[in-house]
């Protein structure tokens, strides 16, 4: 419970103690945290219209206030200092006008860049970073699937292991990188540059080796990412889609029908990996965390490139399923793996796996093998 008048800094500082991922401010209900995936309002009076309209004023600049007043939407990041001298917390904040009053959705992003182990990601993510020197790597998923944390871990591994020039274009900047072996420029939309289009128009003239595009959201950003990859840069980007197969349709829908063959050919030549992920409730006693990612990974190969060119996307799942030794995996197979490692329960897997019949078949096969093994040991 937070007592007294509502204070945005107190509300934000409580998120670490509560292990809350999100905070929602809306007129007519108390401030509401998302904890372990569930929304939980605090014990307080409903937020009044005046409170909602002015609660975030202490953390807004005059430029941000003006932008919000003009557009009715504002995305920005804000850092809360730790009074004990620690790294503090960063927050990704979205303000929106609803019913002529301010609502806000705030996500807590830990200031420390997480490791693959902390994120519970498979080793193939690190292999992609070390294997690729140019081309396009996509991290895809719906909102709240952990894409930003995953990309931060991948970019920071490059930062720690290569002497290269990294340029990021983000809206907003979530993780602040400290240069290690690499040099890094982080450009924030609305502060350092007007928009993604303007930033991408100039990025290849800034001598980058690695480019990180916060989100491919329209034809121009997709085309810019492909062109940068074609000219010898390693390009990382996020895309809002639920799985690896959906990534193709999502990118192609930005282009008219008569341009899609050209785009497919370009993707076939530049695409190095698509990593899709979604967060699912974890067995906290085993993992030490409330959620873990389930992943689906597609890696480039001669067969994959041919299927992309020939518009045979529907054949890609069978290629992924037959290439597990290379690090590829389907969501359903990975859910079975998470169950076998006891990172998630069988019930969770059945609830979230896209192909429940396949999952049951895989897990039944494992149970039969385990039973046979126990029988041999007893005998």
pLDDT in tens, 244-279: 999 999 999 999 999 999 999 999 999 999 999 999
Residue-range domain boundaries for the chain: 8-110, 116-361
| pLDDT the model gives residue 346 | 93
CATH number belonging to the domain at 8-110, selected among 3.40.47.10, 3.40.50.740, 3.30.450.90, 3.30.70.2860: 3.30.450.90
| pLDDT the model gives residue 74 | 92
| pLDDT the model gives residue 101 | 96
| pLDDT the model gives residue 372 | 40
pTM value? 0.80
| pLDDT the model gives residue 370 | 37
| pLDDT the model gives residue 87 | 67
Residues of the chain with pLDDT under 50: 1, 3, 368-379
| pLDDT the model gives residue 191 | 78
208 near 224, Cβ under 8 Å?
A: no
Say yes or no: domain 116-361 is CATH 3.40.50.1260.
Answer: no
């Amino acid at each position: 419970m937070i007592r007294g008048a509502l204070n945005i800094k107190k509300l934000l500082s409580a998120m670490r103690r509560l292990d809350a991922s999100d905070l929602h401010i809306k007129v007519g209900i108390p401030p509401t945290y998302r904890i372990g995936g569930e929304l939980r309002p605090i014990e307080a009076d409903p937020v009044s219209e005046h409170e909602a309209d002015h609660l975030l004023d202490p953390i807004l600049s005059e430029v941000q206030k003006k932008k919000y007043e003009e557009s009715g939407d504002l995305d920005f990041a804000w850092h809360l200092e730790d009074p004990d001298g620690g790294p503090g917390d960063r927050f990704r904040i979205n303000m929106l006008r609803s019913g002529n009053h301010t609502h806000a959705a705030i996500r807590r992003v830990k200031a420390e860049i997480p490791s693959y182990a902390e994120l519970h990601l498979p080793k193939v993510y690190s292999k992609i970073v070390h294997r690729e020197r140019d081309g396009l790597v996509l991290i895809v998923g719906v909102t709240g699937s952990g894409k930003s944390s995953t990309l931060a871990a991948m970019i920071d591994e490059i930062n720690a292991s290569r002497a290269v020039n990294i340029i990021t274009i983000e809206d907003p900047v979530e993780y602040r990188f400290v240069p290690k072996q690499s040099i890094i420029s982080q450009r924030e939309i609305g502060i350092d540059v007007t928009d993604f289009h303007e930033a991408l128009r100039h990025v290849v003239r800034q001598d980058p080796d690695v480019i990180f595009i916060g989100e491919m959201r329209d034809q121009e950003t997709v085309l810019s990412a492909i062109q940068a990859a074609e000219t010898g840069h390693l390009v990382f980007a996020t895309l809002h889609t639920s799985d690896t197969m959906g990534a193709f349709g999502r990118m192609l829908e930005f282009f008219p029908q008569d341009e899609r063959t050209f785009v497919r050919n370009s993707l076939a030549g530049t695409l190095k990996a698509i990593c899709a992920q979604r967060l699912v409730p974890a067995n906290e006693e085993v993992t030490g965390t409330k959620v873990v990612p389930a992943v689906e990974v597609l890696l480039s190969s001669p067969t994959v490139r041919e299927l992309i060119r020939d518009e045979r996307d529907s054949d890609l799942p069978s290629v992924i399923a037959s290439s597990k030794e290379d690090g590829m995996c389907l969501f359903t197979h990975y859910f079975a793996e998470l169950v076998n490692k006891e990172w998630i329960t069988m019930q969770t897997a059945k609830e979230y796996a896209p192909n429940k019949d396949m999952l049951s078949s895989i897990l039944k096969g494992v149970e039969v093998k385990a039973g046979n093994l126990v029988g041999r040991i007893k005998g």
